[in-house]
Chains A and B, each alone.
Chain A
């Protein structure tokens, strides 16, 4: 199993500003995943972050809007840049369980409200 801590747990932001979300895992992992959960909707994968390489972004998400850092095997950050009200969502950090289980472990999420 993996324990994931995210900060901040929630924030209220002004339009046009940027916010960085931190994700800390209690064990070393190769890949970390960032998801967005818009109000009342399902999870959408934003990008996959590998240590030592550029993040891989899903269709509809770009690095300029959602820059990601992955400085080591236990930590990652996601920045939401130049925010608009449409960016109001829960942002979730996730890692996969070991031994090809396919199981994902999630942090509690960061709830962002953009005014």
Chain B
């Protein structure tokens, strides 16, 4: 079946450090891939997405590239801020209605 695997957290970084959160997936067909973010006390919101191989999604300085050959969609940011502290979820959606989420990775950014 379809599944998403994320690196375990928490991840703790200092401000301005480089961030990578790994995400790999298993899916039949050609899924769309997403990163959602959940800030403290808030609901999930879409951070970025990619719908086909080699697409790069980007938003708020975050980027992720859809790599079909490695079935990966790693999240990166060149310089994190304290305000980026949140839980990040990788997710996939195939042609059906169901979105499948990874376990989530909590990020702490220290000033």
- Whether A associates with B in a native complex is yes
Known contacts A42-B89, A108-B42: A102-B99 contact under CB 8 Å: yes
Query: How many residues belonging to A are interface residues under a CB distance threshold of 8 Å?
Result: 19
| Contact assessment for B98 and A102 in the assembled complex, using a CB-CB cutoff below 8 Å | no
Q: Which residues of B contact A102 (CB under 8 A)?
A: 32, 34, 49, 51, 93, 99
Residue of A nearest to B45 (CB): A106
Q: Binary interface profile of B, 26-48, with partner A (CB < 8 Å = 1, else 0)? A: 00000010101000011111100
Q: Which of B63-71, B76-84, B101-109 contacts A (4 or more CB under 8 A)?
A: B101-109
Which residues of A are found within 8 Å of B45, using beta-carbon distances?
105-106
Q: Is the CB of A104 within 8 A of B43?
A: no
Smallest beta-carbon distance A46→chain B, Å:
11
Task: Give the secondary structure class of A's interface.
Answer: strand
Whether the Cβ atoms of A108 and B104 lie closer than 8 Å is no
Chain A residues whose C-beta falls within 8 Å of the C-beta of B34 in the assembled complex: 102-103
Known: A102-B32, A102-B34, A103-B49. A42 touches B101 (CB 8 A): yes
Complex formed: what's the CA distance from A4 to B98 in Å? 19
Contacts of A108 in B (CB 8 A): 41-43
Q: Are A104 and B32 in contact (CB under 8 A)?
A: no
Whether the pair A103, B44 counts as a contact (CB closer than 8 A) is no
A residues at B contact (CB < 8 Å): 4, 31, 33, 41-43, 45, 48, 58, 92, 96, 102-109
Write 14 A-B pairs (CB below 8 A) sorted by A numbering: A4-B43, A31-B97, A33-B99, A41-B104, A43-B44, A45-B98, A103-B34, A104-B46, A104-B99, A105-B45, A107-B43, A108-B41, A108-B43, A109-B43
